[in-house]
A and B are shown apart, each in its own frame.
Chain A
Amino acid sequence: MSQVTSTWKGGGSPFAVGRKKLGMWLFVISDALTFSSLLVVYSYLRVANDWPKPFEFYPAIIFSSAMTLVLLTSSLTMVFGVAAAHAGERAKAAKWIWLTALGGAVFVGLHLTEWNHLIHEGVTPFANPWGVPLFGATFFLITGLHMTHVAIGVVYLGVVATGFSRGKFDSEDVEVSGLYWHFVDLVWMFVFPMIYLLSVTVQ
């Protein structure tokens, strides 16, 4: 029988990816739906309420743009890490992955600084100085959930870098951790415009 007919008849791998990679992809899709539903409901609440626009272009937007730059760049270093892992260069791959984890840690640090600043201005999940209390609730929920993903990613990458350089993990494990990392980056590409860029103070 030809290969074309046997592809979907069982026993083969129709998607031609390993089980770990397929599993991570399915997780990514389900997690994407979690963030999608949060962001859709957030948009609805924005329309249904007189939503505050508290972020000054400088410093808040410049600051969060720098966070975006850090996260995007950490995605690029992860790409290099996966490429080195597939080429069998274990030490080099570990170096790139650690660099990626460092980028993630810097992102979390910057974001916590931003949080701290807002908390000092009186923003809590239940109240804020500018009006609708839901502003604080949605802000901390959505950015907090994203930050949790980044923090988990930093630990995950640390484990993968250590295990890969010791020969415990293979290059597919590195690629799978890369998928997770790029997904976290992808989510920020929606959180950043919806939370920050649409809430810039009107001059």
Chain B
Amino acid sequence: MSAQRNLMMKVWVGLLALTLIEVLLAYIQLQPVLMLSLLMGFSLVKAAMIMAYFMHLKFDRPALTWMLVPPLVGCIVVLIAYLAPDSLMMLEAGI
């Protein structure tokens, strides 16, 4: 019971640490595309930590994760794929 509690507090500390890194990135200010990539990378790690530990997916059957996560990721990839070419073209042209 208390081992579980310690684990959850470690996850919480990890989430806070990643958030702190994100805020520091905003403070030092990098190139927008690099900044977006890094922030989304950290946020995806945080989302995975919340889903695996706080939302208990790691301790449920893998079948639940396989049913829920790949379709979500697939839909988001499709969403991005619709708009990414146009966005990249505009970035390239410097508009």
Contacts and interface: CB of A to CB of B under 8 A. Distances in A.
A190 interface: yes
- Most chain B CB neighbours (cut-off 10 Å) among A37, A47, A78, A190: A47
Contacts of A175: 56
B1 A15 contact: no
B72 A15 contact: no
B90 A72 contact: no
Contact of A87 (B1, B9, B36): B1
A57 B26 contact: yes
Interface in B1-55: 1, 4-5, 8-9, 12, 15-16, 19, 22-23, 25-27, 29, 32, 35-36, 39-40, 42-43, 46-47, 50-51, 54-55
Interface residues of A, number: 48
A112 interface: no
B39 A197 contact: yes
B75 A36 contact: yes
A202 B29 contact: yes
A203 interface: yes
B60 A40 contact: no
Interface residues of B, number: 47
Interface stretch (A25-33, A130-138, A144-152, A159-167): A25-33
Interface string A104-131: 0000000000000000000000000000
A29 B73 CA distance: 10
Given A15-B61, A37-B79, A190 B29 contact: no
Contact of A190 (B16, B47, B55): B47
Interface in A169-203: 175, 178-179, 182-183, 185-186, 189-190, 192-194, 196-198, 200, 202-203
A36 B79 contact: yes
B8 A76 contact: yes
A14 B63 contact: yes
Nearest to B7: A79
Nearest to A33: B75
Nearest to B18: A189
Interface string A75-96: 1101110010001000000000
Across the A-B interface, give the 5 residue pairs with the lowest CB-CB distance, nearest first.
A197-B26, A193-B39, A44-B83, A182-B54, A47-B87
